[in-house]
Amino acid sequence: MAARQDGGRTVLASDERTPLLHNRRCRQESIGIDNSIQFDPEEPDYDSVIYSPEGSPEKESPQEKVTEDTAKLLSAKYEGLDYDLVENSLFVKEAAANNKKLIRININRWVVMLMIGILTALVGVLIDIMVHQLAGLKYSLLKSWIDSCVEKGCLSIPFALWVAIDALFVCFAAILVAYGEPVAAGSGIPQIKCYLNGVKVPHVVRIKTLISKVLGVVFSVAGGLAVGKEGPMIHSGAVIAAGVSQGMSTSFKKDFKIFRYFRTDTEKRDFVSGGAAAGVSAAFGAPVGGVLFSLEEGASFWNQALTWRIFFCSVTTLFTLNIVLSIYFGRPGELAYPGLLNFGRFTGVSYFWYEIPLFLLMGVAGGLFGALFNFVNHKICIFRMKYVYKPFMQVVEAMMVAIVTATLAFVSIYISRDCKPLGQDESEKPLQFFCSDGEYSTMATMMFQTPEQSVKSLFHDPPNSYNIVTLSVFCVIYFILACWTYGLSVPSGLFIPSLLCGAGWGRLFGIGVSHLLPTIAWSEPGIYALMGAAAQLGGIVRMTISLTVILMEATGNVSYGLPLMLVLLIAKWVGDIFNEGLYDIHIRLMSVPILGWEPPATSTTISARQVMSHPVTTLQQVEKVGRIVEALKEPHSNHNGFPVVDVPDETDLVTSGRFRGLILRSHLLVLIKRKMFLERSQTGAIRKNLQMKDFREAYPRFPSIHEINISPEEMECSIDLRPYMNPAPYTVSEDASLHRVFRLFRALGLRHLVVVNKDNLVMGIVTRKDLARYRLVSLRSLDLEELQMSH
């Protein structure tokens, strides 16, 4: 019996046919996105459309339906990673022969982690130095113009110059991304999250992506956009990890012939989690935060040895970055530069216990602002995906944002009359503007420097450095700009703009509190700025433990752990009432079949029968080449695993033969390419059998079936799949619940799960997309929605 939930109304259905899920109304109600799936009111219910077991639709073809809301789709272009090892006979043979090699492989795992750590740090340093130099050039040029023009009355010239420089820089960044590697856009954290979750995001760990990302982020930061370089740093770390661990570059067609045994999805994913941790470590000087980030976002289960290696990697990064930066800044060995984003040292009283409720209040505000940010950014991104998708337009749009950013910055400095006397420790290039000699414009200190420095100023400047109007204007402007900027076709980190915006209103809050109740001792407004920054960031990205530890490590003060944790917790809870974290929203927009930590709550009522894909393309143990090629060429279903069965009973249309094993598409491709046909081995044309390394050689870009030439005679040959198939893959009974299937899948990092009936006959196959299509309508409800597939 199924309980049908319809817009909160629960109807007990007596008919088996009544679907547990129905995908029409919930979809249209949810989140309020413009949804253009054209369902005809006259059209019969989805569940009454009858499909034959062969899968040809008897009524209308769903191909006619179109939608533009990609958040409600799963894209077929994303495939799963083969995290589970294929224990076929070759593998067993190799494992037996390699017993002694295992130690060397284990040592090499550490060596690779060390290399990843060092290289990530060097890339971080490269980014930092390039931003430092470029921004330095830009700001000193503009400063000299402004200083002379403020006397002569030609301020429109530096204004125009500023706008032009920014537009040029950002144009460069956008071209790199739009024409170079579109996947390098944004922070890269959503993509890395997907990868660590087990989804192969095309191009995400290629060297070309790394180059676009690194150069792009340098130019977008130097171009004055409201972006940071921290998210891209994490992505860069991941790419470096993927590249180093493979000992080759497919893009450059260069094979160093090392680390060949790491050329599998399993090993690569483990190293990528190390690289992501190294990226966090380089970005924030937070090695433990990096490890936790990798675990929180990626690892399916706690792998003790891997965790230890990841930690080694991120500490290596921290140390290398520190050393190299200290040399660059002319104080070799001082180790005072733990990360790209350095919050600086907080001194004095940490906070008073009675301030904690205030911090919680700030957490609520952060959650609300974060939810607003996500909502607006979601809308903007949907618009972009609909209308601004051509590379040319993406470049123009990025330039528009850069122009407006520079304009707003200049105008706000122009209008602001907030001057403060120059202190001893002033920012690098204080801008005098209309202020008297010996004073500087406070608005300019926030607008006329890279965002990292502005964050530091907000955290550490003494209590009376900013007046309220300046701060409010800055906050509002930055919030709007950050919201508009994220999702542009430039590499752009989200951390810095969020922190900056939050630090702005946090500082305002602190100033307000001490004005309202001047008799009580309050901590410095810098502390409030820190809490505001945490709340804003937590409200936007909704990360929990890793973000707390990252911020704690970035401040270098453990005593902030408690308030930071509380603030992030509250911000997440409040934000979750309204929408998801921004990274999750972007993952949805990419239509990635990502699996959450937990199966949907009501999933126990759904059985594997409903989840699985039903008529399965199966192969026999000894199969005709023609049949294999046909299966591989099937256009609609780019299957990657095929159950291998005994000769099926032709009259049984429900099952597809007794289950014997599972063979991967990649293995079949290699077999056909090597022409490992039975007929040839009988004639002695094949001297030796294939080994595991032959399969690894083709990794990670296996040939397409269309690239392999097969003559009609060869089509008639047959291949014995038994040595190559995995004879004991995970299977699940057809009666298992979605809940159970989900747990098995998530915990073991599976790609295929064969569903069998009580006689071990293949009923269907469950892949990631079959599971990911069940999703809660919103975080508040228990209703499930079912997503559609698209290309």
Partner 1 sequence: MGTTFRERGPLLMCVSVLILSACKYGVAEERTSDIHSSGKDGDRGFDLLPGDEVITTSPEMERLSTPVPEDDTTWSSHEFQIDQGNQSTTQRTFKSIDSASTTVVPSPIIHSHCEKLLKKLGETASHFTRCSILHARPLGLCSGCMYEYTDFGKVFDAITKEEDPTTGEKSCAEVLLASDMTQIVVKTHQFIQSLWEASTCEQCFDIGPEVNGTVSYSLSNNTLHFQEMANKTILCFAQHTNKTGGVSDVCTACKKPYDKLNDLYISLKDTAKLCVDIVDSMNSTRHTWSHRFMCLKREQDTVAVAAIAVGLCILPVFFYIGSKINVEKIEKKLLKQKRFRPLDSASVFQ
Give the shortest CB-98-to-partner 1 separation in angstroms. Answer: 40
Largest CA distance in the chain: 97
Parallel, antiparallel or unpaired: strands 788-790 and 73-75: parallel
Q: Which is nearer to partner 1, 428 or 646 (CB)?
A: 428
- Cβ of residue 486: shortest distance to partner 1, in angstroms? 16
DSSP helix/strand/coil, 407: helix
- Measured N-to-C along each axis, helices 207-222 and 101-152 cross at an angle, to the nearest 10 degrees, of 20
Which of these, 605, 626, 648, 642, lies nearest to 738 by C-alpha position? 605
Q: Which is nearer to partner 1, 308 or 389 (CB)?
A: 389
Q: Which is nearer to partner 1, 60 or 697 (CB)?
A: 60
Compare residues 300 and 610 and give the one whose CB is closer to partner 1.
610
Using the minimum distance from each CB to partner 1, give the nearer residue, 533 or 784: 784
3-state secondary structure of 789: strand
Closer Cβ to partner 1, 62 or 357, answer by number:
62
Q: Work out the number of other CB atoms within 10 angstroms of the CB of residue 4.
A: 15
Closest to partner 1 by CB, 50 or 516: 50
Task: Give the dihedral sign, CA 499/504/508/510.
Answer: positive
Minimum CB separation of residue 459 from partner 1 in Å reads 21
- Find the shortest distance in angstroms from Cβ 709 to partner 1: 29
CB neighbours of 145 closer than 8 A, spacing ≥ 6?
157, 158, 161
CB of 400 to partner 1, least distance (A): 4
CB of 179 to partner 1, least distance (A): 18
Nearer to partner 1, 61 or 519 (CB): 61
Q: What is the C-alpha to C-alpha distance for residues 511 and 56, in angstroms, rounded to an integer?
A: 68
Closer of 428 and 694 to partner 1 (Cβ): 428
Considering the complex, what minimum distance in angstroms separates the CB of residue 392 from partner 1?
11
Q: Nearer Cβ to partner 1, position 51 or 354?
A: 51
- 3-state per-residue secondary structure call for 316-384: HHHHHHHHHHHHHCCCCCCCCCCCCCCCCCCCCCCCCHHHHHHHHHHHHHHHHHHHHHHHHHHHHHHHH
- Tell me how far, at minimum, the Cβ of 433 lies from partner 1, in Å: 9
Residue 753 pairs in a beta bridge with 766
Beta bridge partners of 247: none
Nearest to 228 by CA among 278, 277, 188: 188
* Cβ atoms of residues 406 and 166 within 8 Å: yes
How far is the C-alpha of 450 from the C-alpha of 223, rounded, in Å?
Answer: 9
Least distance between partner 1 and beta carbon 19 (Å): 10
Minimum distance of partner 1 from residue 710's CB (angstroms): 27
Matching residue, tokens 């804003």: 536
Distance CA 782, CA 436 (A): 62
Are 527 and 212 contacting, i.e. CB atoms less than 8 angstroms apart?
Answer: no
Q: Degrees (nearest 5) of the Cα angle 228, 593, 174?
A: 30
The CB-of-53 to partner 1 minimum distance in angstroms stands at 5
DSSP state at residue 520: S
CB-wise, 154 or 517, nearer to partner 1? 154
Answer for the pair 320, 124: CB distance below 8 angstroms, yes or no. Answer: no
The residue among 156 and 689 lying less far from partner 1, judged by its C-beta, is 156
Taking alpha carbons only, the member of 525, 486, 523 closest to residue 509 is 525
CA dihedral 96, 100, 102, 105 (to 10 degrees): -130
Shortest Å, Cβ 240 to partner 1: 33
